[in-house]
Amino acid sequence: MMVGVHPLAGFDKLLHYKVPESVSDPIVVGSLVRVPIMNSFHLGIVGEIGAPKNFPLDKLKPIAQVLYPFPALPPDLLELARWMSSYYAAGLDSIIETMLPAAVRNGIGLKQDKYLSVVKRPSPEEYAALEKRAPQQVKLLRFLEQQFRPQKKSLVLARLGLTAAVSSALVKRGLVHEELRRVERIAYDDDVESGELVASQPHVLNAEQAAAVATVTAELAREKFGVSLLHGITGSGKTEVYLRAIDTALKSGGGVVFLVPEVALTPQTVARLRSRLEAIAPGHRCVVWHSHLSEGERLDGWLALATGEARVVVGARSAIFAPVRNLRLIVVDEEHEPAYKQDETPRYHGRDVAVMRAKLSQAICLLGSATPSLESFANAQAGKYQLIELRQRVDSRKLPHIDIVDLRIEALKQRTMPSLSRKLLDAMHARLERREQTILFINRRGYSSAMLCTKCGHTEECAHCSIAMTYHRADEMLRCHLCGDQKPAPLRCPKCGAPEIRWKGLGTQRVEETVRRMLPKARIERMDTDTMSKKNRFREVLSQFRAGKIDILIGTQMIGKGLDFPNVTLVGLIDADISMHIPDFRANERTFQLLVQVAGRAGRGDRAGEVVVQTFTPQAEAIQFSRHADYGGFAAAELKIRKDFNYPPYRHLIHHLFRGPNPEKLKFFAEQWAKLIEKELGDRVELRGPSASPIEKIKDEYRWQLWYFTNSVTKVVPEIARLRADFAWPDDITQVIDVDPVNLM
């Protein structure tokens, strides 16, 4: 037998090998094998069975080892890897490495031990005879007969006070089977926020939820590929719908992948899911996939899924590559989250990969959000996705009332740049007196590059691209980083003439100080990315907050995901504007999402909630639509702008970054390259640039960039990849291609 192997050795090629007789494990497409290349051994995935076309067969080397007795990449994952490689212009080897956890590739912690089980029960006469000659063997045999699963040899022998000779004798008689088995480490149990008590009782569905469940169940019953978009307002009980869908998929014998944006940030959701999932599928483990797992734990989880011992995995982005068998359902919660996009090679989008995997596996993909991405929403409108809506909060709880505070007026009143408006302070005060809780969100996105007039709320936009221009401090210029257009940064606001255009945002600390000064009696905690790196601290603060030991929680919007605290009746957003002025055509969408999600944290208990949003631009559409959580209105308005500028979702956007130590050389090659693309692919792509990147230099390396707009990634990216491979790049220039980037900064 001969096989073609994709080696994991830093290049993308299919190399052929022969399978020697000594290899007894079955080899199929997707098997993980060890193969010789030059003078060393590398891992590889079997990509095809068969002989090479133009290679002398007697020169083929033998493969050295098969790592697992089943395909490490089942057919649907291998197919997915090939699609990703071509869609994202990344080497197949790098995709395969992403799909297989390091622990799996290295076999780390693959702890095996000897296990015993009974294969044949002797007749009563045989038993009696054996009893006389070898009572110890009977003792062991009787013990093993009472067990449901194979028993660890060392433990059993120690417990019964027997030697290995006893078990060997039984093995010789053909009564007992001894085998090497993997030792299980059940480590997922208390890893995710153990301190929280979570209810595992199912809710009685309300009418909307029941209708949603019926729709998804019908989809699942078709056993064909389909995507459903569950658009449910915050607190509408989407999780319950997911759980029922998962229940159906499991009962029909299928497997499930459940993706959340960030496991570490959503411990509550994960804990809730796990307890329910394990109740739904008794005897089945729910594998939790997250970045804090040890290598051994990760391998165990992976093996449990690959062997079918576990059929459900919950995890962040990379859990989409879990080797779940007979995949029937993929749930992508908070599908609009930019966290689903990986910002290093391969730069894939977890949601888009989920849809593709569902397609390859003929499974159902269920995308859920209170604020769906416009990409998904447009697909639903076009009839490609099925739209399911939950318009009400459970138990008919009201959406919180949203107050918009105009910071321009506040600045005039307070005669200084305010971090907390009177309104927000009063509301916080009232909460303290009523022993209710407050969350304050601080928006951190890209504020150093924004230029915003605090008098009139004006920002400078590019005339050609409808995105905010970026302020470059070094040469005092404003630049558009889509088309490269530039002009001197104004000293005064071009609209109202005020000199306050250079305001730079409010820091987290300044807000915290103000709150402490104004409300000295309040118990306050601050959580942001810095403090969050300590996992336990994060949990601790959340438990304290839940227990009512903290009155006011201050944090960046990142921490707000999925938090469900019934005693929070006030949510304040300190600076709604920042995300609106990031130089990104998705700025409005991000702002709307932020406002709705943040507001959704208020009023989840019996008492109504209130939300105070501080802004310099109260008239902005993203803010006005969010007041009534009017997603439909917002989407219609925003999609029109996208259509006018022919931005995603109407076309795809691809970013090409060039890096190198010499700026002139970099510019020259970027321009030569752009000319080539224009000539070869001008009918399929529209180019913007090349121009200097918004951050022109990082660690002594200069950066240039080029944007491609296109209707079809699959007609363009493979061509770009081909041309790139043939282009005479100098050694000191490196480049990165990012397809469908979610972050234009």
Three-state secondary structure call for residue 265: helix
Q: Provide the minimum distance between the beta carbon of 369 and ligand ADP in the complex, in angstroms, as a whole number.
A: 9
Q: Which is nearer to ligand ADP, 236 or 615 (CB)?
A: 236
**Beta strand pairing call for 364-369 and 386-390:** unpaired
CA–CA distance, 424 with 427 (Å, rounded to integer): 5
CA–CA distance, 695 with 604 (Å, rounded to integer): 41
Q: Which of 23, 29, 205, 425 binds ligand ADP (CB under 6 A)?
A: 205
Select the binding partner of residue 238 from Zn ion, ligand ADP, none (C-beta < 5 to 8 A, by kind): ligand ADP
Give me the residue label for tokens 């957003």. 573
Q: Which is nearer to ligand ADP, 392 or 508 (CB)?
A: 392
Q: Which positions ≥6 away from 330 have C-beta within 8 Å?
A: 256, 257, 258, 259, 320, 354, 357, 358, 363, 364, 365, 366
Q: Provide the minimum distance between the beta carbon of 479 and Zn ion in the complex, in angstroms, as a whole number.
A: 9
Select the binding partner of residue 386 from Zn ion, ligand ADP, none (C-beta < 5 to 8 A, by kind): none
Q: Which of 239, 369, 421, 597 binds ligand ADP (CB under 6 A)?
A: 239
Select the binding partner of residue 564 from Zn ion, ligand ADP, none (C-beta < 5 to 8 A, by kind): ligand ADP
Q: Which is nearer to ligand ADP, 212 or 299 (CB)?
A: 212
CB atoms within 10 A of CB 210: 13
Residues in the chain: 745
Contact range with ligand ADP by CB under 6 A, out of 147-155, 190-198, 205-213, 663-671: 205-213
Q: Provide the minimum distance between the beta carbon of 648 and Zn ion in the complex, in angstroms, as a whole number.
A: 16
Question: Residue 726 to residues 201, 392, 677, 705, 719: CA-CA distances in angstroms?
Answer: 60, 56, 12, 19, 11
Q: Which of 38, 204, 725, 728 binds ligand ADP (CB under 6 A)?
A: 204
Q: Which is nearer to Zn ion, 483 or 681 (CB)?
A: 483
Q: Which of 7, 30, 101, 237 binds ligand ADP (CB under 6 A)?
A: 237
Would you state the structure tokens that stand for residue 387, as one six-digit string? 């739209």
Q: Which of 177, 203, 284, 535 binds ligand ADP (CB under 6 A)?
A: 203
Longest dimension (CA), the chain: 107
> Is 395 a residue that touches ligand ADP (CB under 6 A)?
yes
Select the binding partner of residue 705 from Zn ion, ligand ADP, none (C-beta < 5 to 8 A, by kind): none
Backbone angles phi, psi at 439, to 5 degrees: -115, 130
Q: ω before 267 within 30° of 0 (cis)?
A: no
> Is 266 a residue that touches ligand ADP (CB under 6 A)?
no
One-letter amino acid at 516 equals R
Q: Provide the minimum distance between the beta carbon of 370 and ligand ADP in the complex, in angstroms, as a whole number.
A: 6
Select the binding partner of residue 462 from ligand ADP, Zn ion, none (C-beta < 5 to 8 A, by kind): Zn ion
Q: Which is nearer to Zn ion, 7 or 583 (CB)?
A: 583
The H-assigned helical ranges of 56-134 are 75-87, 92-99, 102-106, 124-133
Q: Which is nearer to Zn ion, 89 or 462 (CB)?
A: 462
Q: Which of 151, 236, 248, 591 binds ligand ADP (CB under 6 A)?
A: 236
Select the binding partner of residue 234 from ligand ADP, Zn ion, none (C-beta < 5 to 8 A, by kind): ligand ADP
Binding to ligand ADP in span 503-522, by CB under 6 A:
none
Q: Provide the minimum distance between the beta carbon of 483 and Zn ion in the complex, in angstroms, as a whole number.
A: 3
Q: Provide the minimum distance between the beta carbon of 462 and Zn ion in the complex, in angstroms, as a whole number.
A: 3
CA–CA distance, 543 with 529 (Å, rounded to integer): 18
Select the binding partner of residue 464 from Zn ion, ligand ADP, none (C-beta < 5 to 8 A, by kind): Zn ion
Show the binding pattern over residues 555-594: x = contacts ligand ADP (CB under 6 A), - = does not: ---------x------------------------------
3-state secondary structure 332-401: EECCCCHHHECCCCCCCEHHHHHHHHHHHHCCEEEEEECCCCHHHHHHHHCCCCEEEEECCCHHHCCCCE
Q: Which is nearer to ligand ADP, 206 or 735 (CB)?
A: 206
> Is 197 a residue that touches ligand ADP (CB under 6 A)?
no
Contacts with Zn ion by CB under 5 A lie at 462, 464-465, 480, 482-483, 485
Q: Provide the minimum distance between the beta carbon of 315 and ligand ADP in the complex, in angstroms, as a whole number.
A: 18
Cross-strand bridge partners of residue 152: 115
Binding to ligand ADP in span 206-235, by CB under 6 A:
206, 209, 232, 234-235
**Beta strand pairing call for 552-556 and 437-442:** parallel
Q: Which is nearer to ligand ADP, 8 or 596 (CB)?
A: 596
* DSSP per position, 160-191: HT--HHHHHHHHHTTSEEEEEEEPP---STTT
Three-state secondary structure call for residue 639: helix
Q: Which is nearer to ligand ADP, 236 or 419 (CB)?
A: 236
CB atoms within 10 A of CB 345: 16
Count of residues interacting with ligand ADP (CB under 6 A):
16
Helices 135-145 + 164-172 axis angle, to 10? 80
Question: Shortest CA distance to 745 belongs to which of 582, 615, 621?
Answer: 582
Q: Which of 160, 394, 477, 745 binds ligand ADP (CB under 6 A)?
A: 394
CB atoms within 10 A of CB 373: 25
Q: Which is nearer to ligand ADP, 238 or 311 (CB)?
A: 238
> In this structure, are residues 667 and 690 in contact, taking their beta carbons and an 8 Å threshold?
yes
Give residues in contact with ligand ADP (CB under 6 A).
203-206, 209, 232, 234-240, 394-395, 564
